[in-house]
Chains A and B, each alone.
Chain A
Amino acid sequence: MKKLILPVLLVAALAAWWPAPLRAQAPDAEALMKEAHLNMYYAGDDGSARVKMTITDKNGKTRERDFTILRKDFAEGGEQRYYVYFYEPNDVRRTTFMAWKNPDGDDARWIYVPSLDLVKPLSANDKKSSFVGSDFAYEDVSGRHWSDDSHTFLREEEKGGYQTWAIESTPKSGDYFAKKTTWIDKDVRLVVREEYFDNKGELLKVFEVLKIETVDGFATALERRMTTPRKNNNTLIVFDSIDYNQGISADIFSERYLKSPPREYIAQ
Chain B
Amino acid sequence: MHRHWILVTVAALLIGVAVPAAAQFELHGFMEAAGGVRLQQVGPPPASWGSPGVLPPVWSGGQDYTLREARLQLKSDFYGSNAEAHFVADILADQVAGDGTGIILREGWTKFNAFGDHLEARVGRQPTTWGTGDLIFINDLFPKDYVSFFIGREDQYLKGPSDAVRLGWFGLPLAVDLVYTPIFAPNILPTGERLVFWTPAYAPVQDPQQKIENGETALRLSRAIGSTTLAFYGYWGFWKNPSGFSPADTSVAGSMPYYYYPQLNVYGVSARGSLMGGVAWVEGGWYDSTDDRDGTDPLIANSEGRAMAGYERQWWSDFTGGLQFYWEGVQDYQPGEYVKDENYTLVTLRLMQMLRYQTVKLSAFGYYSPSEADSYVRLAVGYDYTDELNLTVGANLFQGDDEETLFGMNEDNSNAYLRVRYSF
Contacts and interface: CB of A to CB of B under 8 A. Distances in A.
Nearest to B358: A133
Contacts of A198: none
A115 B277 contact: no
Contact of B272 (A118, A121, A134): A121
B170 A256 contact: yes
A130 to B, nearest CB: 6
Interface string A53-87: 00101000101100000000000000000000000
A89 interface: yes
Contact of A126 (B316, B358, B359): B316
Contacts of A254: 224
A128 B28 contact: no
Contacts, number: 109
Given A90-B388, A134-B357, A255-B222, A126 B129 contact: no
A64 B387 contact: yes
B77 interface: yes
B279 A121 contact: yes
B359 A133 contact: yes
A132 interface: yes
A130 B318 contact: yes
A233 B357 contact: yes
A147 interface: no
A93 interface: yes
Contacts of B313: 123, 125
Query: Interface residues of B toward A: which range?
Result: 35 or more
A263 B79 contact: yes
A5 interface: no
A256 B357 contact: no
Contacts of A118: 129
Interface string A104-147: 00101000011111110111111011101111000000000000
A123 B390 contact: no
Interface string A246-268: 00000000111000100100001
A171 to B, nearest CB: 16
Contacts of B9: none
Interface string B214-233: 00000000101001010000
B129 A117 contact: yes
Contact of A122 (B168, B279, B421): B279
Nearest to A131: B358
Nearest to A57: B357
B156 interface: yes
B317 interface: yes
Given A133-B357, A133-B359, A117 B128 contact: yes
A160 B354 CA distance: 34
A187 interface: no
Contact of A93 (B23, B75, B84, B279): B75
Query: Interface residues of A toward B: which range?
Result: 35 or more
Contacts of A260: 111, 120
A255 B229 contact: yes
A94 interface: yes
Given A108-B274, A118-B129, A268-B77, A126 B317 contact: yes
The DSSP consensus for interface residues of chain B is strand
A244 B129 CA distance: 35
A132 B318 CA distance: 11
B320 interface: yes
B30 interface: yes
Interface string B310-330: 001110111010000000000
A268 B79 contact: yes
Contacts of A183: none
Given A115-B156, A118-B129, A260-B120, A55 B357 contact: yes
B255 interface: no
A123 B318 contact: no
Nearest to B317: A129
Contact of A61 (B126, B156, B314, B386): B386
B314 A90 contact: no
Nearest to A268: B79
A179 to B, nearest CB: 20
B378 interface: no
A10 B88 CA distance: 83
A100 interface: yes
Interface string B267-308: 000001110011100000000000000000000000000000
B35 interface: no
A106 B277 CA distance: 6
A33 B233 CA distance: 48
B127 interface: yes
A135 B356 CA distance: 11
B388 A117 contact: no
B386 A117 contact: no
B158 A129 contact: no
B280 to A, nearest CB: 10
Given A55-B357, A91-B30, A133-B359, A63 B279 contact: no
Contacts of B175: 255-256
A123 B358 contact: no
Contacts of B250: none
26 contacts: A89-B387, A90-B28, A90-B29, A91-B423, A93-B75, A100-B227, A106-B277, A115-B156, A116-B158, A117-B126, A121-B273, A122-B279, A123-B278, A123-B314, A124-B274, A125-B277, A125-B278, A128-B317, A130-B318, A130-B358, A133-B358, A233-B357, A255-B175, A256-B170, A260-B120, A268-B23
Given A91-B423, A123-B279, 4 more contacts: A121-B279, A123-B320, A125-B278, A268-B77
Counting from the closest, the 6 A-B pairs by CB-CB distance are A125-B277, A133-B358, A108-B227, A115-B156, A89-B387, A126-B314
